[in-house]
Amino acid sequence: MVAHVDHGKTTLLDALLKSGGTFAAHQTVVERVMDSNDQERERGITILAKVAEIEWRGTKINLVDTPGHADFGGEVERALALVDGILLLVDAAEGPLPQTRYVLAKALARDLPVVVVLNKVDRADARPEEVLHEVEQLFLDLAHHDHHLSFPVISAIAREGRSMKGIGMPGDNADLVPLLDSVLDTIPPPAGDASAPLQALVANLDASDYLGRLAIGRVAAGVMSKGDTITVWQHPTSEDPAPWIKRRISNLFAFRGIGREEVSQIGAGDLFILAGIDEVEVGDTIAAQENAPALPRLEVDEPVLRMSFGVNTSPFAGREGTYLTSRHLSERLFREVLGNVSIKVNTTDSPDIIEVAGRGELQLAVLIEDMRREGYELQVSRPEVITKTIDGVKHEPLEAGTIDVPDEYVGAVTQALAPRKGRVVNLETGDSGRTIVSFRAPSRGLIGFRSLLLTVTRGTALLHQSLSGHMPWAGELPHRMGGAMVSDRKGSTTAYALDNLQLRGTLFVSPGVEVYQGMVVGENSREDEMVVNAVRAKELTNIRTHSHDDGPKLATPITHTLESGIQWIGEDELVEVTPSNIRIRKRFLSLEDRRKSNKVPRN
């Protein structure tokens, strides 16, 4: 199942699992049962592709739930390598959006048949006929063959488990039978030959405390058996264009319902999980013999943003975390790469700093959040785009996006885009009082744009974006208006000190918070950095007046989250991340060191 973010993939999968008899009638099932990761449930998005299995009319159907957010496109690409067809979900009110185009383009490039599901047809602002026309136009733009233009259409209300063929409103007694029947009619059975020599593709990785590394993939031909000795074709290099190793399958599992079941054999066309190959990587081919050809390797889009992950060097380092050293950091990040082909990790000149590249801010923020919950302490830099040189000209990533916003805020949106070199390419107005603003902008200009957009539209805008190639370097872009308020000493903040500072900017801390020299405690109203004493106590005197002794009235400070902190910091600042706190700090803690770092050497 593929779709734009929040169009109902995981909700529909819940309904299909119930229709397929995966859950007992008396069993209590949480909503979005496949979103088992803590961050998935908290953020309300799917981050990792997952597999479930149902049986319908005597046919076993493997269902793969994929992320809708563009930052997790690597998960979508790996999922498409496992399937024979797709369910393309489109919101009956919003219509096809940037990620809809992205996932459909990837599916049609693999020549996968498509069942179109117009979901949420019960919305008050649903417009299924218009949306279907937009979907048909999308197929015309992306189709590689004539048969791509022929596809069944299902109208559905996923959360209620109701569907019908064609355009309309499913009846009160409707179910998902029309959808399941369309799947059987449209998506062909596996074409693999069970009598041929074994060939299988590894599309994902997992790990077990007891079995070690697990390879997840699909058998393309032959039969995979527990205990067999197999050949693993690995990533070719210039030194060894056809590397392979011999290994034995120690354990073999198949997907059953939403779980896994140990089996002795898995045939052509089915999905597998196997243990016993510590060196296996995503894209490897598993074959019965050395002379068997390798299957085409998975190719994924290159990362767009990179950040530096470093060992925490603040004065508070080691207070709150369990994993503190460069060895801990390096092992964790390289372990992430084993199961995530869209993340790239590179060492740097410093053993304490590792460069991590990914698809977008959200993907990198999810990784950092996972690490802090696991007990890691680290410090990270502001994201920067990965540039390319094309025909001798510096290019940067280009984003295509849409903003769904109330009509009265269209002017504010266009004004917010302009300084970031955003260009509005289309405006679509409807009867609902909302406008869809389509735009193009450099990826660099959209770092931190989501929070600004929510501010200028009072939280009413919906932003969707996806990578759309590269553009010539756009030049300097604005970042933030004010400079940093930087603490000049270690101590505990006082209301007296903060009361004086709030007149000169916006505070990030409240009274009683421990700070250190070089820690950012607020944003100055001017561009310049301001070094402040945030721990100053009021001097005690014998003179007491009512006006002097009134308690200070402090405004509520801005509490930066991981994402907002990463977006706010400049090149000379870092975000300190621990299991308990998110702090913003200067790269060089002392004022003297910062002045030295800013000096330009003479020629």
Rounded Cα gap, residues 213 and 250, in angstroms = 11
Distance of alpha carbon 152 from alpha carbon 166, whole angstroms: 8
Query: Is 603 inside any structural domain?
Result: no
DSSP three-state, residue 197 = coil
Say if residue 489 is in the same domain as residue 456. no
Q: Is the pLDDT of residue 21 over 70?
A: no
Domain boundary among 235, 262, 287: 287
CATH code (residue 588): 2.40.50.250
Contact status, residue 480 vs residue 528, Cβ threshold 8 Å:
no
* 127 & 176 share domain: yes
Q: What pLDDT band is residue 599 in, cutting at 50, 70 and 90?
A: low
Predicted pLDDT at 47: 46
Taking alpha carbons only, the member of 68, 65, 77, 6 closest to residue 34 is 65
Residue type, 66: T
Report the CATH number that the domain containing residue 226 is assigned in CATH: 2.40.30.10
Judged by DSSP in three states, 142 sits in helix
Decide which of 287, 315, 349 is a domain's last residue. 287
Q: Are 160 and 223 part of one and the same domain? A: no
Residue 69 confidence (pLDDT) above 70: no
| Statement to judge: residues 21 and 147 lie in one domain | yes
Look at residue 412 in the predicted model and tell me its pLDDT. Answer: 92
Q: Decide if 448 contacts 567 (C-beta within 8 A).
A: yes
Whether residue 559 lies inside any domain: the answer is yes
Q: Quick one: average pLDDT of 473-478?
A: 86
Residue 376 lies in a domain: no
Dihedrals phi, psi of 415, to nearest 5 degrees? -70, -35
438: Cα within 13 Å, side-chain hemisphere: 10
Instruction: Write down the pLDDT at residue 29.
Output: 43
Distances (CA, A) of 406 to 125, 423, 480: 14, 19, 26
What is the 8-class DSSP label of residue 392? T
Q: Which domain holds residue 437?
A: 388-472
Q: Say yes or no: 10 and 119 in one domain.
A: yes
Across the chain, what does the average pLDDT equal? 84
Residue range 218-247, pLDDT digits in tens: 999 899 999 989 988 887 777 777 788 899
Tell me, yes or no, whether 401 and 495 share the same domain. Answer: no
pLDDT per residue over 349-397, tens digit each?
998 999 999 887 878 888 999 899 999 999 999 999 999 999 999 999 9
591 has pLDDT over 80 = yes
Half-sphere exposure of 101 (CA within 13 A, CB side): 16
Cα–Cα distance between 134 and 138 in angstroms, integer? 6
CATH number of the CATH domain containing 155: 3.40.50.300
The phi, psi pair for 404, rounded to 5°, reads -95, 115
Whether 517 is covered by a domain: the verdict is yes
- Residue 296 in any domain: the answer is no
Confidence grade of residue 3 (pLDDT, cut at 50, 70, 90):
low
Residue 505 has pLDDT above 50, yes or no: yes
Count of CB atoms within 10 A of residue 26's CB? 5
124 and 250 part of one domain: no
Query: Locate tokens 């979907």: which residue?
Result: 135
Distance of CA 200 to the CA centre of its chain: 28
Amino acid identity at 19:
S
pTM of the model: 0.74
Phi (first) and psi of residue 484, to 5 degrees: -90, 140
**CATH number of the domain to which 433 belongs:** 3.30.70.240
Q: What is the pLDDT of residue 25?
A: 42
Q: What is the rounded CA–CA span in Å between residue 133 and residue 167?
A: 11
Residue that is last in its domain, among 472, 503, 531: 472
The answer to whether position 497 is within a domain reads yes
Mean pLDDT of 83-112: 85
Contact 172, 261 (CB under 8 A): no
On whether both 433 and 561 belong to a single domain, the answer is no
Q: Give a yes or no: residue 447 inside a domain.
A: yes
| Percent of the chain topping pLDDT 70 | 88
241 in the same domain as 163 = no
**Between 599 and 380, where is the model more confident?**
380
In a domain, 357, yes or no: no
Give the pLDDT score at 45: 46
Same domain, 122 and 30: yes
The C-alpha atoms of residue 45 and residue 43 are separated, in whole angstroms, by 6
**Do 468 and 489 fall into the same domain?**
no
Distance spanning both ends of the chain, measured CA to CA = 60
Do 460 and 562 fall into the same domain? no
State how many domains the chain has: 4
Task: Say yes or no to pLDDT of 68 above 60.
Answer: no
